[in-house]
Amino acid sequence: MTKPVTIRLEVPDYERLEGEARNLGMRPGTLAKVLLHGSLSKAGAAQAEAALVALERLGALAAGKPAIDAVQLVHAVRRGLGEPE
């Protein structure tokens, strides 16, 4: 179960969050959740930094590649296997 949390950020902070999220190919709220989760854990700062590095690497790998619709991909595979969609 999850619980919603609302935070207010100054415009420059939100713009930084939004820019980083865009670079990583995710929504700002998702990045905020990753950062918060990492900072709350025992080795928070190191884990958050490692998560950001991993996400940056993932973003670099995805750069220039076409977007993939996972649902369409699953349907195509199921059709190929002769399974019902």
Does any domain span residue 16? yes
Q: pLDDT at position 18, please?
A: 92
In a domain, 4, yes or no: no
Cα separation of 47 and 57, whole Å? 15
Is residue 9 pLDDT above 80, yes or no?
yes
Tell whether 66 is covered by a domain: yes
Report pLDDT for 29.
92
Q: Is residue 6 part of a domain?
A: no
DSSP secondary structure letters along 21-85? HHHHTS-HHHHHHHHHHHHHSTTHHHHHHHHHHHHHHHHHHHTTSPP--HHHHHHHHHHHHT---
Question: Residue 67: inside a domain, yes or no?
Answer: yes
Binned at pLDDT 50, 70 and 90, residue 42 comes out as low
- Identify whether 74 is part of a domain: yes
Packed helices 28-40 and 44-62: angle between N→C axes, nearest 10 degrees: 150
| Range(s) of the domain holding residue 15 | 11-81
Domain count along the chain:
1
55 belongs to a structural domain:
yes
- Whole-number pLDDT of residue 84: 75
Q: Is residue 3 in a domain? A: no
pLDDT, position 73: 82
